[in-house]
Structure 1
């Protein structure tokens, strides 16, 4: 047990994608608004959406978002272990922000005795500077086949001395059975840490729900401390690809006439990563975005998309192989020949080139694979990963952008058109990290291009420039003025306001041994 630790609250769930990350984000902002020095913590995260910190280290995008909710710079101590699935049997392990070689799940479990002290020290070091830590669990704490190796759920709660809120997804069905079953499967000493339940993603008549709230407290002895509604159009970056693969970004229907829409198709790669780059398009009134799965035709309802985007990938060679199996290579060449635009982001950029070399087998056992041949570039995957925030300039539009790089690839132009994105300045410690000046390349026509810059579409002026260029190709007038803002801070604030309204915050403070709950006048009980 860590001595002199701050108060700790942990958000665990009945399964994946029930809303743990979002609720943790909301609580971080609520506690901050109430005057507490608060920070997030997740011991282990399995996700392909990553973030590069100012000091050139890698962590989960979800904990970076939670840091933003606390108005803190992302810190790898908030997420000491990140697991990035690369093949069906192996993953890349990132420990305290630094990547390790691929390993199987069995090899990772064998390594855990040496990783527990790393997690404990990260938590101890982080916690020293705060009044409260909000921890997040992973999956379910009641996975009985994984309990012996647990490092992120009840093991983390015990380390931090945390009270636990258990979250269930009522929209998915079976939420009461999931909550009761989770409590029943835990050893009594661990089950005692669960102090209350939160029902997430509720829609409908609350009066129908009322009897269940009473009965579950009678059955378990634990109250439901909140029922959070299903939040439409919440576009905060997702932790993993579950929502993406379910088609979340294609659900934002538009009111404009069919002919006025710019259609963007995003290819669903098996090991898709950092797909949150595409979320900002969902706020635009004149853009319709859809998910294109392997085996599906580019043309739908007699219409081709205006743009096809290849997002990031944690296994470029493997995903390329699948694209070829489904003849996407030929379809994309025909699409470009017909006037379509193809964009590659990070791993997608590498795919557009002539060849990808992986001499160190960083992403699998394929040491060399041909690319799609849409850009005259070649990429070699190096052991050392490029991790840095960057300030960049888009040479075609002249717009300045901010984002980050996170990739193993070193890409060189063979006979390519001049780069259209370049570094103009570093941020913080990243300025000392020197890499290639060019961050992206494009074809002579400008209709095939790619970049290593994550977050480029977060920038409202650049996103509008890009959409207007598509509009002009379709014979539509450019709108020129920004039509919508993609504002993560405003989204966090909206989320916190809704959750504060729906949670019994005095009860939450009570289970923390604190009094207060909404007006900023809180204090530790007994102090």
Structure 2
């Protein structure tokens, strides 16, 4: 570690999807507002939502969001190891932003001794430029079958000499047992790092909760330093697909919202990735989002969708096979012939084509697979991954927007119309044959796809897209932007709520900080 090691606070959880990432994001912004140079860190993340950095490397979308909370550029040192499950047995490992060949979990565990120094160096280097680091754990630190190979929970806390806040999801039930059980299962020297608890996703009467808070302190000797409410209208990008797989897609109704809705169906693929591309539609007053699983009819409640979107996939061949098993290929062709619109994003774009080849077994597929045949394009998965931020122009609307690419595929489309073209050289590294064309469409423009992630974050383009659907339905276009998808505003709102609900003086005390008031804390001994 550097001579001047920063203070470190770690957010761990009683399990997955309890709110670790969101709380880490909030704390990053709070510490920044209080005058500290702060950075996030997660040693190992297992997620299919990824982000391309400015220098052409790959990291978790969650740590990219936390970097935004710190008003820093996303940096792979914040997430040195990313695991992207590809099959039931194999995953792609991304180390310091660079993809490695597929490996099994046992192969990964054998590799871990060589990865510990990578994690330590990433942390050391990141720590040199900041006053405070907020670390995030993964799953639960009390998975006793995994403790021997741990590099992301208590091992990371020990590396950083971090105090730990343990988060539990009270909405799911059993939170007090989960908190006590986690402490009980940890070795005493590791349990000693847990300085307090945070209850997340609370809704109800605080007075009824109060006796439980007193009792858990009496049992464990640790206080509950905050009770964070269930935030109904928070739409920050998710780290994993737990909520998406549950079928929960929030919709924020606004005053004066249109009575007639545009229905957009998103197909839930087993290896769905970067599904957060669709989050911005949830803020639109005239859009109804629904999640459609293979085997379900396109029509729900007697009404078909207006648009079907195929999101990204980490295993295009397997997901295509499932779609065919449930006759979705036939259903989509009939949908298009009836005037419906089909959109493919990244892996979804590849599925729309005629053929996908994987000669290097990037996704573990030995033989070429036939696509859905809705676009005359062919894709070959190459060893080197395209990773870059790009500016693009949409050729039909003429709108310019920014996004990012993360894909192994090189797509050839000699007989297909381009839909998006690159208007900058791209920020970051890419394959020498990286395409100037970023997407393609059929003659009517009702079947199209793109490699551009984040395109619907752009408010003017999203409104243009929705208005075109409205016109197809015989409705007048609204033209003016109806809703703003503003991640910065969401981070700010989250931080305000968490600051109000957390005992921040207690948090600063456990960090060894003295003083009080925003911006007036200082670190003892530094």
- What is the TM-score of this pair, normalised by structure 1? 0.97
**Matched positions, count:** 526
CA–CA distance in 1 between the matches of 2:182 and 2:193?
Answer: 12
1:88-127 CA distances to partner (integer Å, 9 max, x unpaired)? 0000000000000000000000000000000000000000
Whether the aligned pair in 2 keeps the contact of 1:317 and 1:366 (CA below 8 Å) is no
Whether the aligned pair in 2 keeps the contact of 1:316 and 1:347 (CA below 8 Å) is yes
Whether the aligned pair in 2 keeps the contact of 1:298 and 1:304 (CA below 8 Å) is yes
CA–CA distance in 1 between the matches of 2:304 and 2:250?
Answer: 16
CA–CA distance in 1 between the matches of 2:294 and 2:255?
Answer: 28
CA–CA distance in 2 between the matches of 1:468 and 1:419?
Answer: 18
1:8-64 CA distances to partner (integer Å, 9 max, x unpaired)? 000000000000000000000000000000000000000000000000000000000
1:250-305 CA distances to partner (integer Å, 9 max, x unpaired)? 55567878861000000000000000000000000000000001110001111000
Matched, 1:522 2:524: no
User: Structure 1 residue 426: deviation in Å?
Assistant: 2.6
Judged with a 3 Å threshold, the aligned counterparts in structure 2 of structure 1 residues 430 and 489 are, in CA distance, closer, same or farther, namely farther
Whether the aligned pair in 2 keeps the contact of 1:378 and 1:414 (CA below 8 Å) is no
Whether the aligned pair in 2 keeps the contact of 1:40 and 1:134 (CA below 8 Å) is yes
Judged with a 3 Å threshold, the aligned counterparts in structure 2 of structure 1 residues 37 and 430 are, in CA distance, closer, same or farther, namely farther
Judged with a 3 Å threshold, the aligned counterparts in structure 2 of structure 1 residues 518 and 26 are, in CA distance, closer, same or farther, namely farther
- Which residue is equivalent to 1:466? 465
CA–CA distance in 1 between the matches of 2:45 and 2:515?
Answer: 32
User: Structure 1 residue 494: deviation in Å?
Assistant: 0.2
- Which residue is equivalent to 2:180? 180
1:184-230 CA distances to partner (integer Å, 9 max, x unpaired)? 00000000000000000000110000000000000000000000000
User: Structure 1 residue 419: deviation in Å?
Assistant: 3.7
User: Structure 1 residue 364: deviation in Å?
Assistant: 1.6
CA–CA distance in 2 between the matches of 1:234 and 1:419?
Answer: 32
Whether the aligned pair in 2 keeps the contact of 1:421 and 1:451 (CA below 8 Å) is no
CA–CA distance in 2 between the matches of 1:24 and 1:145?
Answer: 26
Corresponding residue SS for 1:172: coil
Whether the aligned pair in 1 keeps the contact of 2:10 and 2:162 (CA below 8 Å) is yes
Pairwise CA RMSD: 1.6
Corresponding residue SS for 2:509: helix
User: Structure 1 residue 233: deviation in Å?
Assistant: 1.5
Judged with a 3 Å threshold, the aligned counterparts in structure 2 of structure 1 residues 366 and 327 are, in CA distance, closer, same or farther, namely farther
CA–CA distance in 1 between the matches of 2:109 and 2:410?
Answer: 32
Whether the aligned pair in 2 keeps the contact of 1:397 and 1:465 (CA below 8 Å) is yes
Judged with a 3 Å threshold, the aligned counterparts in structure 2 of structure 1 residues 137 and 309 are, in CA distance, closer, same or farther, namely same
Corresponding residue SS for 2:390: strand
> Once structures 1 and 2 are overlaid, which stretch shifts more, 517-526 or 210-219?
517-526
CA–CA distance in 2 between the matches of 1:499 and 1:492?
Answer: 11
Gaps of 5+ in 1: none
1:458-509 CA distances to partner (integer Å, 9 max, x unpaired)? 0000000000000000000000000000000000000000000000000000
Judged with a 3 Å threshold, the aligned counterparts in structure 2 of structure 1 residues 250 and 69 are, in CA distance, closer, same or farther, namely closer
CA–CA distance in 1 between the matches of 2:428 and 2:377?
Answer: 30
User: Structure 1 residue 249: deviation in Å?
Assistant: 1.5
Corresponding residue SS for 2:62: helix
Judged with a 3 Å threshold, the aligned counterparts in structure 2 of structure 1 residues 354 and 520 are, in CA distance, closer, same or farther, namely same
> Once structures 1 and 2 are overlaid, which stretch shifts more, 435-444 or 415-424?
415-424
CA–CA distance in 2 between the matches of 1:268 and 1:517?
Answer: 48
Whether the aligned pair in 1 keeps the contact of 2:39 and 2:133 (CA below 8 Å) is yes
CA–CA distance in 2 between the matches of 1:277 and 1:445?
Answer: 24
Judged with a 3 Å threshold, the aligned counterparts in structure 2 of structure 1 residues 301 and 255 are, in CA distance, closer, same or farther, namely farther
User: Structure 1 residue 370: deviation in Å?
Assistant: 0.0
User: Structure 1 residue 416: deviation in Å?
Assistant: 1.0
> Once structures 1 and 2 are overlaid, which stretch shifts more, 64-73 or 255-264?
255-264
User: Structure 1 residue 248: deviation in Å?
Assistant: 2.5
- Which residue is equivalent to 1:502? 501
Whether the aligned pair in 1 keeps the contact of 2:253 and 2:285 (CA below 8 Å) is no
Whether the aligned pair in 2 keeps the contact of 1:422 and 1:440 (CA below 8 Å) is no
CA–CA distance in 2 between the matches of 1:506 and 1:259?
Answer: 48
CA–CA distance in 2 between the matches of 1:518 and 1:415?
Answer: 64
Whether the aligned pair in 1 keeps the contact of 2:251 and 2:288 (CA below 8 Å) is no
Whether the aligned pair in 1 keeps the contact of 2:259 and 2:286 (CA below 8 Å) is no
> Once structures 1 and 2 are overlaid, which stretch shifts more, 243-252 or 39-48?
243-252
Whether the aligned pair in 1 keeps the contact of 2:392 and 2:420 (CA below 8 Å) is no
Judged with a 3 Å threshold, the aligned counterparts in structure 2 of structure 1 residues 250 and 296 are, in CA distance, closer, same or farther, namely farther
CA–CA distance in 1 between the matches of 2:197 and 2:67?
Answer: 24
CA–CA distance in 2 between the matches of 1:254 and 1:496?
Answer: 23
